[in-house]
Structure 1
Amino acid sequence: MSAPTTASGSAGRIAAEATEAPAALTTRAPQVPAERLVAEMVPPPRFATVSFDNYITDPGQPSQAEAVEALRAFAARLGGGADAKGGRRRHWFRRKAKPAAICGPRGMYLDGGYGVGKTHLLASLWHATPAAPELKAFGTFVELTNLVGALGFQQTVKTLSGHRLLCIDEFELDDPGDTVLVSTLLGKLVEAGVALAATSNTLPGKLGEGRFAAADFLREIQGLSARFRTLRIDGEDYRHRGLPAAPPPHSDETVTRAAHRVPGASLDDFPALLDHLSQVHPSRYGAMCDGVQAVCLTGVAPVPDQSTALRLVVLADRLYDREVPVLASGVPFDQLFSEEMLSGGYRKKYFRAISRLTALARDAKTLADAPYKR
């Protein structure tokens, strides 16, 4: 049968060429069981094999090499958390507090701009810590707060108290409730002997600044800060260091055609996807992307409001973690957020999202010319 040539136009021709319609993220609203939330608290695929050795330091930024050495030493001090065979530690032998000889703060806080490799270093710490995988936890701040919501506070404390190390990526305090919740949780975990490590674009004493009345919660914020030794990591965004400019957006037809040609690709209208994100908890965005090999978006346009923008940031993080390329039409990714957003309290989150989406757009450049599915 020949391809249609009537009102459906190019979309009809593309559908006729395809052997299988692409998936749509807007049809997915996964329910993630609590046991999966705990089991998946490991470094994401992009950081599954990183190490201190393959972190490329910038000779012009000595703070990077200093951070590597400080984290190596911290990991070494966390030894002794597993039995001789590397198996699960027997809880009846674990002391309630101070199970390891660690002096000073029981946490390391990696502060720096987006793209300086903080998540690489945090995951490297997780890998380097000499304890069985089930005695270490790695997750984003959003995933941690969602774990509390799924398990309840007391059960979360019980579950994580048996760990040697808790790594928290993208540490942010966006509202007073999170401030009190996380402060109390980390306090309980430190008392149980859990070591902490976190990354953020904001110094611990400045968390919440520009987002809510942080002064009203100064005691909680200062309490969090006291638990960490801050490592400042300077440098430029490695994702774009010495690379060509990001590829320009494609046409709707090119993106749609690629979605039908690339195995495992999804295809969504950008405004519809933004609406859908408001109906799915951000902690489930990773599960929403399960099995997706490429994300194709048509009609990318500036994000209309801050709540929507923050949800998009989380989706960008999960796609980046999973190394999912993004092929898009519409405006370039550096035009997603308004000048007001880029100068406000969440500006570092937005710049991180732009950086990561641009890297994923560069990864997707070859998809526009992908061969037909077989």
Structure 2
Amino acid sequence: MHGSTSADAAGPVPRLVDRHPSVSPERLIAQLRPPPTFADVSFASYRPDPAEPTQAAAVQACQDFCRRAVEHRAGRRKLFGRRAVLPGVGLYLDGGFGVGKTHLLASAYYQLPGGGPESPTPKAFGTFGELTQLAGVFGFVECIEMLADYTAVCIDEFELDDPGNTTLISRLLSSLVERGVSVAATSNTLPEQLGEGRFAAQDFLREIHTLASIFTTVRIEGPDYRHRGLPPAPQPPSDEEVAARAARVDGATLDDFDALCAHLATMHPSRYLALIEGVTAVFVTGVHAIDDQNVALRLVSLTDRLYDAGIPVVASGAKLDSIFSEEMLAGGYRKKYLRATSRLVALTRAREP
């Protein structure tokens, strides 16, 4: 099925596979801000769970980070009115899925003064993947020069499963911290590790050993808010029902799962945000379990962009919580697949298209 409904007088439903977006370096920089899903968040809108005191403590820690980041960016006044550069400060939010880490990270971004690259006090918010893409496009040294005057860089979903990229970003951030840029980061702890104290935090600090001394680690406990009181993934509709529903939604796209996965392989993940630009809902037919790691990781990247943009997903075929096999979930990318599953299920409940 390729998104065509012959009975639809308005013509076939558009397909993502027919889109071939390009992304300029300027757009990559402009994208370094919280995604639409978190465009209106603040510390005031974060609702700490009274049963989880670590959540209220995390709000305070984030506010302290903002205050110290501004102070360190301003530097220390020396004799004759000159200011010495103070190294940036660091904050690492350690916790499981859906405890509000991204909400808090975005709130910190908004609390900090300034804005984009043209602001007198610029700041940046991006995923780990976006930061590695930025370094790849501009080059390591150029990226340092571009971000050296920023007050802070906020990194969502810091990845520890790619040693090369982790080393690259650790070196990049070390250079920025020396120049007064503060760094806040989040990452996920696997569900079965929640009882193991600071396991994830130790992993993080070991991998970024050149930076570890500046980071304050804040643990956030709590259940995944996306799944609180909710059942597993719903039973999928039929191919015909998915196509019929897609035809009734302005701005929707309709794709065959295998064709979509093949299309994702034709472009760098940095283009996925442009791929879904202007889309109101994504409909997919023929979903099935994946046994190719490269295909799975590209699907994770697309899921992250859909989640960031708050775009609902409706799919036929296999249930969305069964796409990644047990064998894949037992491998090194487990946390990515679990995060993607959590987000896909949440997107099926975003609203009824």
With the length of structure 1 as denominator, give the TM-score of the two structures.
Answer: 0.83
| Structure 1 residue 294 corresponds to structure 2 residue 285 | no
On the 8 A contact 1:246/1:362 being kept in 2, the answer is: no
Corresponding position of 2:60: 69
- Which structure 2 residues correspond to residues 87-166 of structure 1 after superposition, within 5 A? 97-98=85-86, 106-133=89-116, 134=119, 135-166=122-153
Structure 2 CA distance, aligned partners of 1:306 and 1:31?
25
Structure 2: give runs of 5+ residues left out of the alignment.
Answer: 75-80, 190-199
The Cα offsets for residues 256-297 of structure 1, whole Å up to 9 and x where unpaired, read as: 112222111111111111122122111211111111110000
The Cα offsets for residues 207-232 of structure 1, whole Å up to 9 and x where unpaired, read as: 59xxxxxxxxx6x6322433321111
Distance 1:334 1:244, change over 3 A: closer
Residue 281 (structure 1) aligned to one of 268, 274, 290: 268
The Cα offsets for residues 347-367 of structure 1, whole Å up to 9 and x where unpaired, read as: 221111111111111125x22
| Structure 1 residue 235 corresponds to structure 2 residue 222 | yes
The Cα offsets for residues 174-222 of structure 1, whole Å up to 9 and x where unpaired, read as: 32321221111011100110000011015353259xxxxxxxxx6x632
Corresponding position of 2:197: none
**Misfit runs of 4+, over 4 Å:** 80-83, 93-96
Q: Which amino acid aligns with 2:180?
A: G
On the 8 A contact 1:282/1:311 being kept in 2, the answer is: yes
Structure 1 CA distance, aligned partners of 2:277 and 2:73?
32
Across the aligned residues of Structure 1 and Structure 2, the Cα RMSD in angstroms comes to: 2.4
Q: CA deviation at 1:96?
A: 7.3
- Which structure 2 residues correspond to residues 21-36 of structure 1 after superposition, within 5 A? 21-36=12-27
| Structure 1 residue 206 corresponds to structure 2 residue 203 | yes
Q: Which amino acid aligns with 1:327?
A: V
Q: Which amino acid aligns with 1:263?
A: D
The Cα offsets for residues 13-64 of structure 1, whole Å up to 9 and x where unpaired, read as: x322241422211122322111111111010100011011111111111111
The Cα offsets for residues 108-140 of structure 1, whole Å up to 9 and x where unpaired, read as: 011111111111010011011133444110000
Structure 2 CA distance, aligned partners of 1:267 and 1:96?
56
Question: SS at 1:16's partner residue?
Answer: coil
Corresponding position of 1:213: none
On the 8 A contact 1:18/1:260 being kept in 2, the answer is: no
Q: Which amino acid aligns with 2:272?
A: Y
Structure 1 CA distance, aligned partners of 2:302 and 2:242?
19
Q: Which amino acid aligns with 1:271?
A: D
Structure 1 CA distance, aligned partners of 2:82 and 2:304?
36
Question: SS at 2:154's partner residue?
Answer: strand
Structure 1 CA distance, aligned partners of 2:236 and 2:106?
32
Question: SS at 1:66's partner residue?
Answer: helix
- Which structure 2 residues correspond to residues 165-204 of structure 1 after superposition, within 5 A? 165-202=152-189, 203-204=200-201
On the 8 A contact 1:204/1:221 being kept in 2, the answer is: no
Q: Which amino acid aligns with 1:17?
A: D
Structure 1 CA distance, aligned partners of 2:281 and 2:147?
34
How much identity, in percent, do the aligned residues show?
Answer: 54
Q: Which amino acid aligns with 1:37?
A: L
Q: Aligned residue pairs: how many?
A: 333
- Which structure 2 residues correspond to residues 319-330 of structure 1 after superposition, within 5 A? 319-330=306-317
Question: SS at 1:15's partner residue?
Answer: coil
Structure 1 CA distance, aligned partners of 2:82 and 2:137?
26
Residue 225 (structure 1) aligned to one of 188, 191, 212: 212
Q: Which amino acid aligns with 2:17?
A: T
Structure 1 CA distance, aligned partners of 2:65 and 2:177?
15
Structure 2 CA distance, aligned partners of 1:109 and 1:27?
40
Q: CA deviation at 1:81?
A: 8.7
Structure 1 CA distance, aligned partners of 2:72 and 2:91?
18
On the 8 A contact 1:266/1:296 being kept in 2, the answer is: yes
Structure 2 CA distance, aligned partners of 1:11 and 1:281?
24
Structure 2 CA distance, aligned partners of 1:81 and 1:259?
51
Distance 1:204 1:183, change over 3 A: farther
On the 8 A contact 2:3/2:15 being kept in 1, the answer is: no
On the 8 A contact 2:42/2:106 being kept in 1, the answer is: yes
Structure 1: give runs of 5+ residues left out of the alignment.
Answer: 1-7, 84-92, 209-217, 368-374
On the 8 A contact 1:81/1:131 being kept in 2, the answer is: no
Corresponding position of 1:57: 48
With the length of structure 2 as denominator, give the TM-score of the two structures.
Answer: 0.88
Structure 2 CA distance, aligned partners of 1:136 and 1:292?
28
